[in-house]
Amino acid sequence: MGSNTWVVDSNAFIHLGNLAGDELVSDLTKCLKGDGGGVHVTSGVHGEVRNVRFKTWKGRPNLLEALKDVLFTSEVSEGEIRSVAATIGERAAPQDVDLSLMILAARYDQEGKKVILVTDDFKMTTTKEKAGFGFETCPPSTFLFRLSETVKGAPSSRMKTLSRRVRSAEMRYAISRAAEYDVQSKLTWLVDSLLTNRPGLPSPSEDDERKDEAGTMVRTLQRILRGEKVKASRKKKLGRLPEICHPASEIDPALGTILELEEVTNLPGIYTDLAELSTSCQESIGLGLSSVDDSISGIAHRAVAGPLSRMETVLGMISGLLGRSESARLHLSRSLYLSSLSLDDVAELRTLHQLGLLSLSTESNQKAAELFEKASQMAVERDLPNLRHLIAAALSRFLSGEEEMAGSQLKQAREQIEGDKEKAIHELMRLAHSLLGVDRPWFALEIFDEALECAVETGSDHADSIKEMLLMANTAATGSEDGELTRIRRFLDGLNEVSSDKEEQVRLSQDSIKESMEDLQVKEMDYWDDWRDASKLLADGSTLRIVRSEVDEEGRVLLVAHHSMYGGLGIFIPNDAPEVSANQDVRLSGTRVKVAPAPETLEESQNIKGIVALENPQALEVRLDEPDIE
């Protein structure tokens, strides 16, 4: 097998910084020995990951410094980047750093080398053909798995484990960006990522059997379900389990049929077929296990968790594309739960955090606190970031009246933020965004404000995006801030202590936000009572961010959306239109619109200044696109 030339994007290094253990440098060096001893990047990658550190390593060293011996850096000129962008189309082209990597990969490809561009950005995969590039692409998890196959022993095992953890992170990101690209290609790419190059299951040795009999039985059953041959003696130990669990072997082939579709024209039909298969599979296995001893049932549950989790992920994605937000959440929650049977720590943490948010949304504040505290404890035990869990726990304790405990937790969070404000920005943005999603905009406003302070202090590129999120949160925050809200926001205001030399910069930035909020409130809107193209309201195919949805007594749905130029707008749609929820985007393509002033009652209760009517509500295109905070 010939050597490979690996060109690696920034996201892959961010995954490594988040998830890799301290054996990474040694393992990479061994794995890359036959591939020239290193991986290739452009100087732009250095710029994007210059502050990334290894989170689980002692002393949290800088990633670029730790990996300097395996990185080969090349320069790509601005002229080359602009030329390729023009070929692809400026609006369709990936960002400049990504283009520089594509150009570098093309150079090596023209030299006759076997080049693989490592990226989890689907846009780079779909646009390389437009530029005439012939190199291969693969996600970071596949890159790590392929490297694991070049060595043996402990390095191979560690790289396979890292590959699985990165694959989990990629799937969560793919779900969050589910409708960014066309349905056919995105769905195909997701399923392909789920099914292709899954880590193989090693044949258990006799030592393995003695040390972990249950684990050996799980792996043996998984191998049987995949159609692999196993020793008769090991199969005999499983009894009837292979027969009982056989329906699970139908799941991956069913998902694989999506890859063979020339065009996706019936998403509801695909959803129904897959849902029926999932239900039939679970019912059949459940009936079979009902007569089996509990200890042996656990073997079956662990063995089938993988395919069932993949099925739930795809069902969740399709539900999102169909606008069935509650169904999507249910499927993805099941997927995350099933992932926990596969020892996916990150998935378990996300599940706990989501359950905490749901409790917070229903004002079950003590329950929310317990869930967030459990997530924080688990994160600490596994050397993962716990800041957002800790802040959410402090907020929940404060809301439930346990102010002493809340203050202690807030102090711990403040110390973390003070220790690394740049790292804290990401966690604060994630928490604020999730608070918007459970209709807690006043809390989100304060968390975004703390993130903005950190961004201004550190000179972070996130400052502009945080300002836009603050404007959107202001649209979502209806009514006026009462005494209780003021007390809660003052509590959260203690998260970040602005350094004295940055106080003026922070004040100016906050004043700028206030001015922008005031401008949105007084900005004049154009209203019209005849049907006009939606581009009159949304130029260049832009979208509206939904902050809330309300149902009136006539069954109509009022989507309350944030418009970057006008602030709050309401969109009336019939009750049979696609479901949408907070933090989703809507695109008004394919239909004409009318815009009228908002009735006084709605203007005050919903914080909107205009009502948008759709000539063809069924043309409403729903996106599940989240702010780029990763």
Architecture of domain 528-623: Beta Barrel (2.40)
End-to-end CA distance of the chain: 36
Determine the pLDDT at residue 257.
79
What pLDDT is attached to residue 371? 83
Q: Where in the chain is the domain with CATH 2.40.50.550?
A: 528-623
CATH 3.40.50.1010 domain locations along the chain: 5-177
pLDDT digits (tens, 9 = 90+) for 574-608: 665 555 556 667 777 667 889 999 888 888 788 88
Tell me what pLDDT residue 396 has.
Answer: 94
Strands of the sheet containing 39-42, edge to edge, are 71-74, 39-42, 5-8, 115-118, 136-138
SS3 per residue for 354-383: HHHHHHHHCCCHHHHHHHHHHHHHHHHHCC
- Can you give the pLDDT at residue 199? 45
DSSP class of residue 608?
-
Whole-angstrom distance, CA of residue 344 vs CA of residue 169: 10
- Ranges of residues in the chain with a pLDDT under 50 are 1, 175-182, 197, 199, 209-211, 343-344, 624-630
The pLDDT tens digits for 71-88 are 999 998 888 888 877 776
* CATH placement of domain 5-177: 3.40.50.1010
Q: pLDDT value at position 325?
A: 57
Residue 360: is it exposed, middle or buried by C-beta count within 10 angstroms (0-12/13-18/19+)? buried
The structure's pTM equals 0.52
